[in-house]
Amino acid sequence: MAILNSIRKKGIFLVIIIALALFAFIVSDSLTKGGGGQGILDTVATINGTDLSRQDFMGQVEAYQRSLGPNSTTAQAMSVIWQRELRNTLMQQQVDELGITISEDQLKETLSNALANDPTFQDENGYYSEAKLIAYERSLDANTPQARSAKQDWIDYLERTRQSIVQNNYLAMVRGGFVSTLAEGEQQYRFENDKINIEYVHIPYSKIADEDVVISEAEITAYIKTNSSRFEIDPMVDIQYVSYLEEASIDDIEAKRTDIENMKEEFKTSEDYESYVNDKSDNSFVDRWFYKNNLPASIKDSIFTFSEGDVYGPYKVDNTFNLSRVVGVRQMPDSVKARHILIPIGFNKTDSITRNKDQAKITADSILKVVRSDRSKFEDLVTKFTSDEGSKEDGGRYDWYPYGQMVVAFRDYTFEQKTGDMGIVETQFGYHIIEVEGQKNLQKVIKVATVTLEIEPSEKTRNDVFSRGAKFEEAARDGDYNEVADQNGLTPKPVNKIGKLDATLPGIGNNRTIINWAFQEDVKVGDVKRFNVGDTYVIAQLTRKNSEKALMSVAEASAIVIPILRNKKKALKIRESVSGNILEEVASSQNVVVKSALALTRSNPTIAGAGTEPEVVGAAFGKTVGELTDLIDGENGVYMVQVLAVNKAPVLDNYEAYVSQFTGAAGAINSSVYEALKKVADIEDNRAAFY
């Protein structure tokens, strides 16, 4: 960015200013924590009066994020840890309130099961040993940093185990209260197996056109308020934005092309091509051989015909200009079969010996001498010495691997030597005694040194983009955002329903800065702000804001509410137009026909040709043979039903099989208990304040 380049030019003067500003910030932070004012949030959340420490919580988030790997996000880790801590806190509060405790015997039994497969706690026969556990705990009393850290980890593990036990005891008590009776089992049996046959009249709601039923905003608003729990939404905001990308202009591209063209002759005649690349190129020299299919498609057919010393280019690949000089040509296999013995520097699990670098090299030399004189001993020495578990079971062998699979030194030796050659190479894993056992498909390869220049926007271009973004921001603050965008040939992009803890914005990517700005108390609808997002300036406007939990707007809820209200009004109109007291009269008045449906059950209340209608089928089961129901407002229309036959299932001697259906549902009780506790909990969630 232009700002960064400006800072570089100002040098030490700006460094001093920044240092003073940081010092002032630290002093201010210290005074704020120690004195009055809002202070710094040290509490992630308060759950029914219990505080979650920000330091502890974020420590867990960072540890969990590391465990997920480099591609994980803070948002992912925070979500997992939040759910875990919220659940633990709610459960522990119940445990504490009820006074549930555990005995040491319970703890010991749980540990014996949890640690049974850990060699640290096994005896010589591979069984869990309490004596081993005691010995392990004693070993943690050593006064070393490693022991102190391990001891704290162990204390934390025991505490988590105790919590888990008491919480499981609590859930077991809850589950014990869910007892299903034989009467419930019989009822379920009847729901599934009692059947009726009916005749019915169905007047579909589609008989009345949607446009003939008017639903007002007032009616939608009233329905939302009456059913508020269904339409409650978390705090959220909407924004719209335009962006200015710092990208190279046509002049910048041509200037870079000229730069690399001017380097061609010097590069071609340079004696030390590797140093030249490392000095002049934006990418370092790569010392490897290239097969034809490894080269960019746009150049491979041409450069593969070049001789050593020839230079190809300049040529463009993606956002770079390049010059490639052929610095080597040879024949090489496309795959190799080799075996090796790895002697690591440090501890070797295979022979339980720790070696420094010199000792590892001496061992490797000794082994090489033995296998050169008698290759039949290679596999035995693999078994005795190698630390490479991946190849140990196959005699140290790797079968027919391609050029890029192994680490560089191992790769170079096995591909550049000949079949039958033996030698030692050093890698980051240690010393490898290698035998090349086979090579396939010899073909031409070339080694190239490539100078790459990134096509970047110039300082003039950066300043121009910065200026245009700043002018747009200023104009949008003073005028109409959309009109300013139109005047600049830009189309604002809307992003709606952004949550307080969201991390990613469509079209922008991971950006908490914009989200935090939108939720700040002093930021109002219509406010505009410019943000630096990578190599782009984003000018955002806040277009809607719900800072607290609220009900959906009429516009948001309309898609749900209008069909409901419309069908209610249609049902009323249909009822008013119906005449007659029997099915045939009702059908005739509505120009529909009487239909029949057979073998309906309450567990599957689907009427063929009409749809799923639990209320209609349920009402029919409340009638005797020959009885008519009143008009029923169903899911898909208004119905009248007459029962033709009731076929009750035979009485069973025992309904235990159906009772077990309810008992089986107890597996969902754990999550249901948590959801119930969460629903009634008083939770003050402050995560967004520091995330």
Q: Return the bridge partners of 550, or none.
A: 233
Question: What integer is the mean pLDDT of 155-170?
Answer: 90
For residue 222, give the amino acid letter.
A
Question: What integer is the mean pLDDT of 339-365?
Answer: 94
At 103-135, the pLDDT tens digits run: 889 999 999 999 998 888 988 888 999 999 999
Structure confidence at residue 1 as a pLDDT band (50, 70, 90): very low
Helix (H, G, I), strand (E, B) or coil at 647: strand
- 198's enclosing H/E stretch is strand 195-204
Phi (first) and psi of residue 495, to 5 degrees: -130, 115
Structure confidence at residue 258 as a pLDDT band (50, 70, 90): very high
**Cα 685–chain centre separation:** 22
Query: What is the distance between the alpha carbons of residues 425 and 410, in angstroms, rounded to a whole number?
Result: 7
Phi (first) and psi of residue 333, to 5 degrees: -70, 160
At 368-407, the pLDDT tens digits run: 999 999 999 999 999 999 999 989 999 999 999 999 899 9
Question: Which DSSP category does 650 fall into?
Answer: P
User: With contact defined as beta carbons under 8 Å apart, do 196 and 600 qualify?
Assistant: yes
Q: Cite the beta strand spans of 218-370 per DSSP E.
A: 232-233, 236-245, 311-317, 320-332, 335-343, 346-348, 353-355
Measured from the Cβ of residue 107, the count of other Cβ atoms closer than 10 Å reads 14
Q: What is the dihedral of CA 599, 605, 611, 617, to 10 degrees?
A: 90
Is the omega angle on the peptide bond into residue 314 within 30 degrees of 0, that is, cis? yes
At 624-648, the pLDDT tens digits run: 999 999 999 999 999 999 999 999 9
For residue 56, give the amino acid letter.
D
- 214's enclosing H/E stretch is none
Q: What share of the chain is helix, strand, coil (3-state, %, to 5)?
A: 50, 25, 30
Helices 74-98 and 669-680, packing angle to 10 deg:
90
Cα Dmax for the chain: 109
Structure token digits, residue 269: 């005649």
Structure confidence at residue 488 as a pLDDT band (50, 70, 90): very high
- The residue to which tokens 């063209």 are assigned: 261
Phi (first) and psi of residue 65, to 5 degrees: -65, -40
Measured between its terminal Cα atoms, the distance across the chain in Å is 25
Does 569 score more than 70 pLDDT?
A: yes
Does 233 score more than 90 pLDDT?
A: no
Does 666 score more than 60 pLDDT?
A: no
At 40-70, the pLDDT tens digits run: 468 999 999 999 999 999 999 998 898 888 8
Q: How far is CA 656 from CA 182, 317, 410, 540, 661, in A?
A: 7, 73, 68, 63, 9
| The three-state (H, E, C) secondary structure of 398-430, written as one string | EEEEECCCCCHHHHHHHHHCCCCCEEEEEECCE
Structure token digits, residue 184: 């419930």
Structure token digits, residue 347: 């501890």
Query: What is the distance between the alpha carbons of residues 285 and 302, in angstroms, rounded to a whole number?
Result: 21
At 461-481, the pLDDT tens digits run: 999 999 999 999 999 999 999
For residue 401, give the amino acid letter.
Y
- The residue to which tokens 């910030």 are assigned: 25
